[in-house]
Amino acid sequence: MNRKLTLIALYCVLSIYALVTLSPFIWMLITSFKEPADLFRLPPSLVPTLLFTKTPLANYASVLTELDFARFFMNSVIVSGSAAIGQVITCALAGYAFAKLPFAGRNILFAVVLGTAFVPNEVTIIPEYLLMRQLGWINTFLPLIVPSFLVGSFGTFMLREYFSALPNEYAEAARMDGASDFRIFKDIYLPLSVPALISVFVVAFINNWDELLRPILYLNSPELYTVPRGLMSLVSEYDAQWTLFMAGSVISIVPLVLIYILGQRYVIQGFVGGGLK
């Protein structure tokens, strides 16, 4: 009896937590089905008024047609996918080196890499901007891809822990057969670390998809806008089209939800495997 009461109480607490966590998304979804006149009513209404009209998807249609949202969407796919793939490659190489290759100063260098995780982008964005301007990369996708391609402290840490948990006997047996370190990495350890690689890809893709600071700084042409940068065009100093903004936001999170659902099993395996020695 006590066990059942404990489970009931636990599920009640979790349900309340889930409701509180999902409440911003629920409000965003409801607002995307409202008319602008209904947005600032007092008291606030939870009724999606557009659902009861002849054009329930009017806000979504406006976003997709008037805002050129399809182009923004493809730009975000290109930027986020390229940055995430690059981060998987560089983090896998760095993680394997820190885990399996003994060299002088390995622990110190690894600590420096981890230390970069505590440095906000706002601290380095000015010298980064000056560098990108000197390279002539302003108003291109390169400033959005290259920094994420080369920097991944979280992915390096996760893959280093994952590689450390794999037995060294695999590498020793391969070296006896004359395999090089790179071949051992490519043919033995890399196939064994697929869950961790997918986890890094999912996290990197989501982070780059949500990036707003760099697109605002580096992208001037509307045809190059990513989804967050394109949505910001709906908000000006004196006015904001909040219903369209919410509709665009709902569309923008669909790929994130899908990619997480598809990779959820691997993400859990990657986090669990990375925490086991």
Q: Which residue positions in the chain have pLDDT lower than 70?
A: 1, 151, 237, 266-277
Q: Extract the tokens encoding 46.
A: 């939870």
CA 143/CA 219 separation, integer angstroms: 9
Number of Cβ within 10 Å of residue 110's Cβ equals 19
**How many Cα neighbours within 13 Å face the side chain of 102?**
1
Which DSSP category does 235 fall into?
A: B
pTM: predicted TM-score of the whole model, two decimal places: 0.84
**Closest by Cα among 139, 144, 148 to 224:** 139
For residue 205, the model assigns a pLDDT of 92
Which residues 6+ apart lie within 8 Å of 178 measured at CB? none
CA 216/CA 210 separation, integer angstroms: 12
- Decide if 38 contacts 53 (C-beta within 8 A): no
Taking the chain, what is the end-to-end CA distance rounded to the nearest angstrom?
Answer: 38
CA 231/CA 63 separation, integer angstroms: 9
CA 259/CA 80 separation, integer angstroms: 12
Over the Cα atoms of the chain, what is R_g? 23
For residue 152, the model assigns a pLDDT of 79
